[in-house]
Structures are given as C-alpha cells and as structure tokens.
C-alpha cells in the first residue's frame, strides 16, 4: 500500500496508514458527478487515450492554454468548425511535452495514479515514453476488461449518480434500469439539475422552458404551469433513481417572493424584458421554490454557487462552454441564504448540501451555518478546490465548528470515469492524515478516528444523499 | 503532563513541552468573559451537571440542533413558556448519545478536559457511561471543594473580569468588594459594555437610555445628557474595578460626526424615526466617542465586531438571544476604522483591542493595522474562532507583521466558569507548539521563546488590559 | 549550511537540504526592487549602521511606532523640518532596546542574517551588545570590500532591476551603462513605473504630466500627445535596459474606454475637475493602454494593486510617503481584470505579472486566473506578505491550480541593498521545504523537485521577466 499523501512524520504516518486501510476497502459512493450515463448503458469500448484522457479534461487543456498552447492543438472541438488536431497520438505527445506543468497539481496525481492503478502503466510520462504509454493504454482499452461496466465493478463503485437537465429524456437511464443497473435503488442513478430552465440568462432559456412544457404537458407559458412542470419532472427523475437535485448558481442569494412577484418576473423573462437583476432575483427565488419541492418529494438539494461561467471570452468564442473558461468569484452565504433559512432552515425534511469555490468562507460562513441549522450540510471542496491541500484545509477549517457529521463526504464531480477511484482515494488519504494528526495530538482516540474515517468514506455520503432510500 | 495539542513531531514536541511547562505554572488572567459575578459573590453550590454543563452552553446545543435535536429537548428555556426538558439526567443522556458529533471540536476538548481535570472523571463519555459520570460529577458538586470560590483558588485565577451593561446596578460587584474579592485591584472586576444603550436597534433602546438617565441623574432626553450619563457610568464602573470597556458591533465602522449631527441622529433614535443607516452611523460615531472617553478615563477599549445576531430566526422566536443563533459575517477594518484612527490611532493614551470573527482579515487587515498604529492591539481568536486550529493560524498569520507584542493574550470569553482553566490551557499549548516550531526552524532561540510564552500567557494580558493598575 | 527555515521533521529536512543546496548556488535575479541606482553608479561607502539599516527601513520604524516609539526618535526625517534624532548610535541603541518586538517577524530574519552573513556579526543584538555590533558594522563599512559594487559581486547578483518614474532623467542608469554595468543586457537595469503620471490623485499629477511633455517633446496637453509621450518614454527605458513596467494601483480594476471617453477624463483631470470615480476610471483604462503598449514594445507588465497609501494620517502629516503608513485592503481580480483579459488575456505577446497584498485571493482568484490565461503569471507574495509563512501558504494555495510554471519567482522589492541575498535565501529555503513535503508525500519525484527548485530560483524569473532578452 502506497504512502501517497500520508503525513511524512512517522508517528502520524503510522496512524494514517491504519486509518486509510479502513477507508480503502469501502465501496465508492459517488453522489455527484458528470459521467455520461450512456457510457454505462452502452458499455462500448473507450476511444483512444488522447480522446479519453486529454481532450475532454478541461483541467488539462486550461493549464496548457495558460502556457500558450491553444486548445485546438489538443483536439478540443471548435464552435465554428475550424479544424482542431485530430490525431490522438499527436495530442498525446504534445501533452507529454508539457507534463512538467502539472507538477504539484491534482491533475498530475489523478492522471499518474490512473495510469498506474487502472492501466498498469508504471513508467513516468515524458516525451521519450509518450508513445509507449499511448500504445500500452490503447492496448488495454481494446480488451473487454476495460469496458465501462467491467471497470465499474473493478472500481468497487456501489452507486454512481449522473447529472441531467429536466430536458433530458432519461432514455439512457431507462436502458440502465432495463439492464438492472438503474432506477430507484440502482447502481447508476440520475440527479435533477434544472439550471437551464431556472436561469433566465442561460442560453435559450425561453426555448428550454417551452420544451419543458412539451415534455410534461404543462402550460409553461404561465408561472403556475412552470412550477407544475418542474414538480412533475422531479418525480420523473425520482422514478429514474434520483435522490438529489443540483443547482449551479452565480451566487448563493435566495429571495422569498410572493407568487405574484415571481409570476411577474417569470413573465418578463418569457417576454425577453427581464434585466440582469430580474434574472438574479428569479434564480434566488427559485432556490426557495426548489427547497419547498424538496420538502415535498424528499430530494436532497445541492447548491454549487460561485462559478463565473465563460470568464475567458476568447476561449468561449472559439470552443464554447465547459472547456476551462470558468473561474470562481467571491460568494456570500450568511446574508444570501437567510431568506431560505428563515423559511426552512430547521426543517428536518429539508437537506441542503452547500458547496463552495471560495475557501475564505470555510470558517466565517459555512461551518457556522452548517453547525447551527438542521437542514444544512457541507459538501466537499469542489472543482478548483478539489485537491489535497484544500481538502486538508477544509477539515482544519470546518471541523472545529461543524464537526465531521455536518459534512457530506466526498463527491468526485467528474466526467472522467476512469479517474473516479483515484479521486476518492485522494480524499480518503487526506482524511486519514487529518484524523491521524488529531490522534497524534491526543485530540481523538484511535478507535473513534477509525469509526469516523469509515463514516466519511462511506456511511455519511450514503446517508446524507439518501442513497438506497425510498423517497 | 499530557502532550495534548503539542506537535506530533518529536523535536518540536520536546521543545513545546519545555515551553508549555513555563506557561502552565502562570496564574490565569481573564480580562474578558461572561461569568455571572453573582456566582462568586454568592459562592453557592452549582446545580446538577446538565444545568451546569449542557443547558447554558450554546456551543453544545447548536451542534445538536444542527443534527435535528431541538433545544427544548436539552432543557433550553422557551420564551413563551412551552415546556422544555426539565430532568437533568434525561438531558445528560441525550447529550451522551450524540457525543460523537463533537469529535474534532473545541467543545469536546473543553468538556473532556474539564471532566478530567476539574471533576476527576477519566472514563470516556458514552451512553453506557453517561449515568455513572452524571453521578460522579453530581457528587463532587455537592462538596465544599466545588463551590465557586474554592474552584477560583484551585484554578489559580489571579483576576477575572465579568461583563456588565451600564444598566446593571453593580450590586454583585459591590458584594464582592465587601468580601475583599472585588473593586479596583480586586480579583473579580467588571467591564463596561454599553451596547444596549449605544445600539438603537437593540431591544428597547429608548427605554434603556431612559433608565440610564435615571441611574445617573442625567437628562438622557438630550444628546449632551446622554454623553454625560455614559461618562458618569464609566466612572462608576472604574470604581467597581473595571479596567476596560467592550463593544459588540455589527461592523467595525467608525464615523466622526459633529456634535450637531450626532445629536440629530440621537433625537431621531429617541423619536423612533431612525433608519437602519442612522443606527449604523450612530454606532459608528459612538465608537469614536467611546475612544475619546477612554483617553479621558483610561479604560482600555475592546471591539468585538462581526456577529450577525439572531440569524437563526426559528431559534430566536422560540428561545431568544444568546442560545446559538448568531453567525459571523465578513467584516472590514481598514476603511471602517480609519476615522477613529485618524483621530486617535497614535495616541499613547488610547488602547484599542480588536477581535474578529473573520479570519480572512488576519494578514490583510488586522496585522498591518496593529503593526502600524500605537493604539491598536489584537485580541485572541474569538468565539467561532476560539479553537486550536484557528489559534495556530492566528499566530502563523499575524506574528510576521504585528509580532507577538501587539497581541493581547488569550481571553476565554466564557460563561462556563468551570471551563476557564481548560480554555487558557488550550491557548497555552498552541502557543507553545507555535513557538516550538520557530525554535526548531532556527527562527528564534529557545531562551527568547521561553520569555515569549510567559509574556503571552501572563505578562501581556496583564499589562495591555491594565490589570492591577490604578486608572 | 544552516537549517534555518527548513522543515523540522527529519525526512523532509533531509530532502529540503538537498534541494536548498541546488537553489543556494544559483545567481540572484532581482527583477523588481527599489534600490537607488545611484548607489551602484557612485559606488560610494555606505553611511553609518543606523542610517543604513534602521532609518530607511519602514518595516522597522512602523513596528516601533506600533509600540509607541515615534519615528522622529529613530531619525526619520520630518516634512516640516522639526528635528529628528541625528545620532546614529543613539538610534541604534533605541532599536536594540526593542529588538524583542521583532521576534517571529521577517525583519528579524533579514536583519539577523544580514548581520551574520554580510557583516560577520554573530553576537545576538541586545542593549548590552548594541555598541559593539554598531562598531563592528561601522568598521566593515569603512573597507573597500563593503562598497556597493564589491557587495554586488559577493552577493552573486546577476541582474538587479531598479524602479524609476517616467520623470526620472535616467542619468544614473546612463552612468552605469558607461561603466559597463547598465543598459540593455546589463547587470543593473531600470523599470518603467508611471504611477505619478497615470494616477490623477498622485501629488501634482498635472505638473508631472507637463514635465512628461517637456522631457519627450510631446504636447501632453492633449490625450493623444500624452499617449505618445508615454510610448516614447517607454522606449527610452528600454534603451536604458528595462524589460518591464510596474503599476501600483489602489485596485485591480481595468476598463476599456473609447479614445473619446478617455480623452474626456484626461481633460477633466488636467482642468482639476476630475472626481475620485474619474481618477479610478482613468487608472483602470490606462492599465489596458499599458497592456497595449506592452504588446507593441515587449515590456513585461507588473501590477501591484491593493495598497491603501498613507493610511496613517498622523504619520503622513509628519513624515510623508513611504515611511510605513500604508496598509493593504481587499482586492478583487476576477471582475476587475476582465476587461483587460477580454481584450488581451490570451495574447502570447502580453505578459502580465500579478502581485497581491490580499492572500484571500490566492485560491479563489489568482490561481484560477493564472492557470487559465496565457498572458497571466503570479508574482511572489509581496510586502506585508513577503514572509516565510505566507510564502509557504502561497505555494500551498496556488500550486494546485496554477502549477509552478505560472509563477514568476521571487522579487525582493527592497530598498535595502544589503538585505537582497538574505531575502532571496529565505524564499529559496521555503520553496525547498515545500517541495520536500511533496517529495516526502510521494507527490513528486526527487529529480523533478530538483529541477523545479532551480527553475523557481533562477530560470523562471529570468525567462518570465525577459532578463537578458532583446526587446
């Protein structure tokens, strides 16, 4: 067993090894991520290593962009059809030439450990070894053992949640259910993510809302019909196995409007006359509506605020969304969430998991809120913060006020299916190291640390995200 | 001697032990806290363990609320008289069932160490041991050795400051003075905390101001009379032993108004027409007035900004103030304090101790201000930040710019008399560990670290808070 | 070799020693600082120890001010001619009396190591040793080996950049060029810092702009002439060896104005009718103009935002600028830099190095921006943050998102010529310790860490600041 990421100091390393061993044998609960459910439904072989590992990974392509290598040279598709690099091996070599850029980053950890533990590649990546590693991974990918379902088993994943919009037809999840992999209580479940019908500033919101009406048979030309459509669609998602919703918002602002006020905003949105303030107010209001619906239907609510989408305009113009052009900005929770918390913050039927991209809120806002409201839980450090150093700082920052049991366990939040076990492994190692320090400093007995690490790795995410529960 | 909280790495632990031993033998100076002075004045036996330890501790009850256990089930009194749990043993058992929630929190440290060092209880708390521990503590509490004054001696407390409002009749402190325990230079002294007559948004501010007039014989119907009344009341507090004032404000904003402007705000406040902005402006202005009075009468000034009071509305509606419903919010010092600092920031007669609930201000604002103005000192991490990890981060953050000698030592800020020695002990251990690292990294010679730890534990708080000085 | 600042834990210390040894032998690249170029041009003996070490060091005088010792007692000149202490030995003794204030500060490290490694003083400073140390340093300073050029050689400085305003006649740099020390590719080069002609709120901005016109022969009465003058002056600086510009701004705000809008602001500025908002808008706009000029002439652009200048009014009134009265305030980069980044953020011809005084922006803003835009690099922790603890936190915070190769190496930013080697040494030791932890935690192989430490110490600053390149 490797000592990767365990504390260097021998006493703590010894304790951390013991604790990590307990975590390592737990199945993976992945309650939030972006794997394509079609991947498991189809169970088709993966493409070449570059298309599997480099092209879709915006952590990788943005780092190379930051050093002047344009995404098109790495195969990232363009919006206007301008050709981008198509040869997998060329992309792979280009990547290998810049491997030093990833020193000290989680991308390096994820990739290197994936090479090793998933593909059995132990040579270090470099221009000299790039071709051999490419060939080695290619060869593995051609075998049945590297089909998605086989890897799913090998990865010891108990449940994997994907994320779909209300406009998704859930056909892939239906196929999974038919195969005994999906549906309520299944191994692959969906998550209800309504941003594209809640955020008036989303591309073609009005069109999206119209489609929502078609799908549900509700008249989304009215606010009442819109709410009914959302309610209905949430139940469809529950039927497809969902246990949670997810909300990606610019801020954590919430707002309690009267139905008439909300209706007026909605109407302005449909007529194309809503201002940016209207859109923000409507998003803020809809978070409370979503909380109300969660109280009704039991779906756990996740909030991911604080991403400034498409900040890199040049990149967006050329390559569109979700290619590494987002950045965090400062987020405020204490005033922002107050209207929602005033309404439902202590309601035991509500479960709201808060994520942040702004670690400055760990001790000042998140831990005090989660440590004082019955409905609130803290999600793991996310996205830019999904890294060993921040995971450690997260525990150091929030545990003293919120304890361990107001935190919801790790979420990998990834599109990269093959990296899932490594990502969970990193989180488990960091938690083991943190707990080991508490033990070594006589702040927690070893047996309680042992119970806690299993709670963090397995029991807490399962319980808080209602995995396996009937809603 | 326990190695609790000392660094795990052996070299540093060895040095930390030496340094901690020097700190551990120092008497306790407690210049800021919320112990009821009647406790020492009456010297009556403590109530049962649940009423002593659980019911009044909002750190405990808010953590249980965050996991869905309502405060009424823990005996917290309700505003409307709805019954809350009255049986001490039932409360204690409920608490013991949820003991795991406190893993990694300072509450666990404080409670466990208090059980052990104050009550001699060495068994670990659990549902199985709850009754036995309850009985053991109850038995101790019935003995004369566990009366408040006996514990005061045993705790090696040199001076304990309590906190009273200008409307307090100071009768408890008068009794202490009669017994040779209170008054100027005494062992139990008061602190002047005028929030309820300075903050127009405080419950019944106008009534409070009227009572202030009655107590002092000044006409608080006028602004001039109001200032005179404050001046007079401050002197009453000095006569009762106070060496400092304390100011709990929503923000750190200060504002220099002309007397006419201040008077106009005051009049609007009395007539009930002040806006929220008026109230904030008046608070901001009054901080400068208080600084001026401090220059006159010598009282050290403490500022505790940044608590959003009664954030949890459900909790406030049921149980009122000070039961765990406050949370921090972001605070700004650099622009906020400028008017006060422009007026008096380098005046050696002023001593202003700044506290924060927002650790993001440690390096950016607090250390540069305290390291550059003669009147400013930094208080210890407070409330949500009164914890080992934050204490360590505080030293790591502020020492490099403000040094040790612009920090004012530890304040326990507690209502929980029995936890006082443990809280100071935690701070001393963390300081020992921090200094040990400096020594181990060859940044400070051991003899200077030894002098510094005693300064931090004893000499600095005594000097900066003017303990034992004639004002 | 001393273990100063290396991790105390033996495994990491061992690795850190190896890495540090590699860094220690690298020449010093100092791409940003405030040494007087006349110092090297004249190569005259230094003054007495107090005038060399205490009087001009605002880190020292502000710490003493924070404890009530007025700067005049330390020899800091007054604006109105009020006498300040003139006797070097008296100043030195006063400083020695308060040496304990600097425990745990970088000033202590810098001074003590300078005493030892530059002047061969190994006794500890104290009132008892003050005179002897003063005499020892004085004696050294009288010898030819302690002339600036001799020390420059001994310090192993490869290139030192100074900072001049566009109004500087560059005569000192011309003399350096004549002596074979200056000019393009020289050992002492200049940096173009136009704050006094860009910031309308700078003292006598209009007069400065007029002088800029005289120097360049352009009509700075018009906005077009003003831009031409800046362009011309930048080329003069290039001819004097400059490879970069530097911009000290209150905020990181940028703004894209039309020429007509910019001209209108400029005209209001000249006529004395510009508001504070106008001044901020003009500064924000000029950052984009400067970026454009950098794309033309190749000068690397540095941005130092977030210093609230002359915050301590009492100090400013008595002693003027740059004597320790500035403090940081919160800075926002994500929204602030967007207009500039929209225009030029991915242009490989632009190189913008960002500095901050607000470490709360490390993970939330700076690392994501530098890790996602081709034009952006991160400068080292600066000023109040130029300290071991923050250097370590900087690496821990930014590396995971921006890697090592979007950081620009250490800048000493100092006026104190004799402290330059010590400051770089501190940064190298901290980087060695950080990398050692990565190695000890199996996150980076030793050979890659070894390559990285040399990159950080030498290759990266040289490359990113275009040291030795032809512009």
Our CA-based measurement puts residue C383 at a distance from the nearest CA of chain A, in whole angstroms, of: 21
CA distance B300 to chain C (A): 15
Alpha carbon C35 to its chain's center? 10
Q: Is B68 an 8 Å CB contact of chain A?
A: yes
Contact A405 B328 (CB under 8 A): no
Nearest-CA distance A374 → chain B (Å): 4
* pLDDT of B230 over the 70 cut: yes
Tell me, what's the pLDDT at C426?
98
Mean local confidence (pLDDT), B228-249:
98
User: Buried (b) or exposed (e) across B22-54, using 16+ Cβ within 10 A?
Assistant: bbbebebbbbbbbbbbbbbbebeebebbbebbb
Q: Which of C7, C339, C346 to mutate to test the interface with A (most CBs of A within 10 A)?
A: C346
C-alpha C16/C-alpha C21 separation (Å) is 8
Helix segments in C26-157, DSSP class H = 37-42, 49, 58-66, 88-97, 106-113, 119, 130-141, 148-154
Let me know: does A322 contact A310? Beta carbons within 8 Å.
Answer: no
Whether B47-144 and B10-44+147-464 are alike in CATH topology: the answer is no
Mutate to test the interface with B, among C13, C104, C390, C433 (most CBs of B within 10 A): C104
Is the pLDDT reported for residue A1 higher than 60? no
Closest chain A C-alpha to B20 CA, distance in angstroms: 14
Contacts of residue A329 in chain C, CB cutoff 8 Å? Answer: 332, 334-335, 364-365
Minimum-distance CB partner of B359 among A364, A404, A443:
A364
Residue in A26, A150, A31 with CA at minimum distance from that of residue A468:
A31
- Angstrom CA distances, B209 to A71, A121, A161, A204, B291, stand at 67, 77, 59, 58, 20
Q: C residues 270-289 near B, CB within 8 Å? A: none
Distance in Å, alpha carbon of A380 to nearest chain B alpha carbon: 17
**ipTM of the complex model:** 0.97
Alpha-carbon distance B212 to nearest alpha carbon in chain C (angstroms): 36
Question: Would an 8 Å CB–CB cutoff place C418 in contact with chain A?
Answer: no
DSSP 8-state assignment for residue B27: P
Looking at the complex, report in whole angstroms how far the Cα of residue A240 sits from the nearest Cα belonging to chain B: 29
- Give per-residue pLDDT as tens, A192-239: 999 999 999 999 999 999 999 999 999 999 999 999 999 999 999 999
Contact C4 B405 (CB under 8 A): no
Chain B residues near residue C100 by CB distance under 8 angstroms: 405, 448, 451-452
Please, which chains are in contact with B (at least 3 CB pairs closer than 8 A)? A, C
Q: In what order do the strands lie in the sheet with A188-189?
A: A28-30, A157-161, A188-189
User: pTM higher than 0.95 for the full model?
Assistant: yes
Distance from chain centroid for Cα B96: 27
The rounded mean pLDDT for chain B is 97
pLDDT tens sequence for chain C (471 residues): 599 999 999 999 999 999 999 999 999 999 999 999 999 999 999 999 999 999 999 999 999 999 999 999 999 999 999 999 999 999 999 999 999 999 999 999 999 999 999 999 999 999 999 999 999 999 999 999 999 999 999 999 999 999 999 999 999 999 999 999 999 999 999 999 999 999 999 999 999 999 999 999 999 999 999 999 999 999 999 999 999 999 999 999 999 999 999 999 999 999 999 999 999 999 999 999 999 999 999 999 999 999 999 999 999 999 999 999 999 999 999 999 999 999 999 999 999 999 999 999 999 999 999 999 999 999 999 999 999 999 999 999 999 999 999 999 999 999 999 999 999 999 999 999 999 999 999 999 999 999 999 999 999 999 999 999 989
B contact test, residue of A252, A336, A372, A376 with most B CBs within 10 A? A372
Q: Is C401 on the interface with A (CB under 8 A)?
A: yes
Residues B29-83 pLDDT 10s: 999 999 999 999 999 999 999 999 999 999 999 999 999 999 999 999 999 999 9
Distance CA C415, CA C422 (A): 13
User: How far from C188 is each of C163, C357, C410, C459, CA to CA, in Å?
Assistant: 11, 27, 17, 18
Q: Which CATH class is domain C47-144?
A: mainly alpha
Residues in chain B with CB shorter than 8 Å from the CB of C308 are: 334-335
Please determine, for residue B286, whether its predicted confidence score (pLDDT) is greater than 80: yes
Task: Give the side-chain half-sphere CA count within 13 A for A266.
Answer: 21
A positions 315-374 inside 8 Å of B (CB): 332, 334-335, 338, 341-342, 345-346, 348, 360, 363-365, 367-374
Of A5, A66, A311, the CB nearest to C338: A311
**Which of B9, B57, B63, B103 is best to mutate for the A interface (most A CBs within 10 A)?**
B103
Binary contact (A360, B357; C-beta < 8 A) = no
What's the CA gap between B460 and C446, in Å, rounded? Answer: 45
CA dist., res. B453 & res. B434, Å (int):
10
**What pLDDT is recorded for position C1?**
56
With a cut of 80, say whether residue B1 has pLDDT above it: no
Cβ pair A9:B9 closer than 8 A: yes
Widest pairwise Cα distance in chain C: 66
* Contact predicate A397/A362, CB 8 Å: yes
C413: three-class secondary structure by DSSP: coil
Checking phi first, is residue B81 left (phi over 0); if not, alpha (psi -120 to 50) or beta?
left
Q: Do A357 and C370 touch (CB under 8 A)?
A: no
Alpha helices (runs of H) in A98-199, residue ranges in sequence order = 106-117, 130-141, 148-154, 171-178, 195-198
Cβ atoms of B63 and B95 within 8 Å: the answer is: no
Nearest-5° Cα angle at A290, A284 to A296 = 150
Helix segments in B240-354, DSSP class H: 259-270, 276-297, 313-319, 338-344
Is the CB of A251 inside 8 Å of chain B's CB atoms? no
The CATH fold assigned to B10-44+147-464 is: TIM Barrel (3.20.20)
Segments of C281-330 assigned E as strands = 300-305, 307-308, 327-328
Dihedral of the alpha carbons of C265, C268, C269, C275, in degrees to the nearest 10: -80
Burial class (CB in 10 A: 0-12, 13-18, 19+), B58: buried
B8 membership: H or E segment, kind and range: none
Among B60, B126, B327, B426, pick the best mutation site for testing chain A contact (most A Cβ within 10 A). Answer: B327
Instruction: List the single residue in C368, C374, C448 with the smallest CB-CB distance to A384.
Output: C368
What does the mean pLDDT of chain A come to?
Answer: 97
Selecting from A372, A438, A440 the residue whose C-beta is nearest the C-beta of B327 gives A372
Q: Which residues pair with C248 in a beta bridge?
A: C304
How many Å lie between the alpha carbon of C397 and the closest alpha carbon of chain B?
Answer: 14
Residues with Cβ within 8 Å of B154's Cβ and at least 6 positions away in sequence, in order, are B145
Residues 6+ apart with CB under 8 A from C248: C193, C195, C304, C305, C307
Per DSSP, the residues of B365-377 read: IIHHHHTT-TTEE
pLDDT in tens, A315-371: 999 999 999 999 999 999 999 999 999 999 999 999 999 999 999 999 999 999 999
How distant is the alpha carbon of residue C170 from its chain centre? 19
pLDDT digits (tens, 9 = 90+) for B347-365: 999 999 999 999 999 999 9
Residues 147-206 of B with CB under 8 A from A: none
| pLDDT tens readout for residues B253-280 | 999 999 999 999 999 999 999 999 999 9
CA distance C392 to chain B (A): 11
Contact (CB<8Å) A334/B328:
yes
Min CA distance, A66 vs chain C (Å)?
4
Contact across the interface for A9 and B4, Cβ inside 8 Å: no
Do C312 and B371 make contact, defined as CB atoms within 8 angstroms? no
SS (H, E, C) chain A: CCCCCCCCCHHHHHHHHHHHHHHHCCCEEECCCCCCHHHHHHCCCCCCHHHHHHCCCHHHHHHHHHCCCCHHHHCCCCCCCCCCCCCHHHHHHHHHHCHHHHCCCHHHHHHHHHHHHCCCCCCCCCCCCHHHHHHHHHHHHCCHHHCHHHHHHHCCEEEEECCECCCCCCHHHHHHHHCCCCCCCCCEECCECCHHHHCCCCCCHHHHHHHHHHHHCCCCCCHHHHHHHHHHHHHHHHHCCCCEEEEEECCCCCCCCCHHHHHHHHHHHHCCCCCHHHHHHHHHHHHHHHHHHHHHHCCEEEEEECEECCCCHHHHHHHCCCCCCCEECCCCCCCCCHHHHHHHCCCCCCCEEECCCCCCHHHHHHHHHHCCCCCEEECCCCHHHCCHHHHHHHHHHHHHHHCCCCECCCCCCCCCHHHHHHHHHHHHHHHHHHHHHHHHCCCCCHHHHHHHHHHHHHHHHHHHCCCCCCC
Q: Which of C363, C440, C451 comes nearest A390 by C-beta?
A: C363
Strands A300-305 and A307-308 turn out to be unpaired
Mutate to test the interface with B, among A11, A15, A403, A404 (most CBs of B within 10 A): A403
CB contact under 8 A, A105 and C396: no
Closest CB from A370, A399, A442 relative to B2: A442
The number of C-beta contacts closer than 8 angstroms across A and B is: 128
What does the domain layout of chain B look like in residue ranges?
A: 10-44+147-464, 47-144
């Amino acid at each position: 067993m490797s000592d990767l990421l365990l504390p260097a100091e021998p006493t703590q390393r010894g304790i951390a090894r013991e604790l990590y061993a307990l975590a390592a044998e737990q199945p993976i609960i992945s309650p939030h991520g972006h794997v394509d459910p079609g991947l498991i439904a189809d169970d088709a072989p993966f493409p070449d290593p570059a298309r599997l590992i480099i092209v879709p990974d915006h952590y990788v392509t943005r780092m190379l962009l930051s050093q002047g290598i344009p995404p098109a040279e790495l195969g990232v598709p363009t919006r206007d059809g301008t050709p981008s690099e198509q040869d997998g091996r060329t992309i792979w070599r280009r990547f290998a030439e810049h491997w030093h850029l990833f020193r000290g980053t989680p991308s390096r950890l994820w990739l290197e450990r994936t090479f090793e533990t998933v593909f059995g590649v132990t040579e270090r990546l470099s221009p000299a070894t790039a071709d051999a590693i490419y060939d080695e991974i290619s060869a593995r990918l051609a075998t049945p053992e590297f089909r998605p379902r086989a890897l799913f088993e090998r990865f010891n994943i108990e449940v994997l949640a994907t994320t779909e919009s209300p406009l998704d037809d859930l056909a892939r999840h239906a196929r999974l259910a038919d195969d005994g992999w999906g549906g309520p209580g299944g191994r692959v479940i969906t998550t209800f993510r309504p941003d594209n019908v809640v955020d008036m500033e989303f591309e073609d919101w009005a069109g999206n809302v119209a489609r929502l009406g078609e799908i549900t048979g509700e008249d989304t030309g009215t606010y009442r019909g819109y709410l009914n459509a959302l309610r209905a669609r949430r139940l469809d998602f529950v039927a497809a196995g969902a246990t949670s919703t997810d909300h990606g918002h610019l801020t954590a602002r919430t707002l309690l409007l009267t139905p008439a006020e909300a209706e007026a905003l909605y109407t302005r949105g449909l007529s194309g006359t809503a201002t940016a303030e209207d859109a923000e107010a409507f998003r803020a209001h809809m978070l409370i509506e979503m909380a109300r619906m969660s109280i009704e239907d039991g779906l756990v609510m996740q909030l991911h605020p604080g991403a400034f989408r498409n900040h890199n305009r040049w990149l967006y113009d050329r390559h569109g969304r979700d290619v590494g052009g987002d950045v965090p900005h400062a987020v405020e929770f204490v005033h922002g969430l107050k209207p929602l918390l005033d309404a439902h913050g202590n309601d035991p039927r509500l479960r709201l998991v808060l994520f942040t991209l702004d670690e400055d809120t760990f001790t000042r806002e998140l831990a005090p809120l989660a440590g004082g409201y019955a409905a609130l839980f803290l999600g793991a450090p996310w996205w830019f913060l999904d890294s060993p150093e921040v995971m450690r700082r997260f525990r150091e920052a929030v545990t003293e006020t919120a304890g361990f049991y107001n935190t919801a366990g790790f979420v990998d939040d990834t599109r990269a299916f093959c990296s899932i076990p490594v990502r969970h492994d990193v989180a488990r190692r960091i938690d083991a190291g943190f707990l080991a320090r508490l033990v070594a400093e006589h702040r927690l007995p070893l047996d309680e640390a042992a119970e806690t690490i299993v709670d963090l790795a397995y029991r807490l995410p399962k319980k808080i995200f209602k995995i396996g529960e009937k809603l």
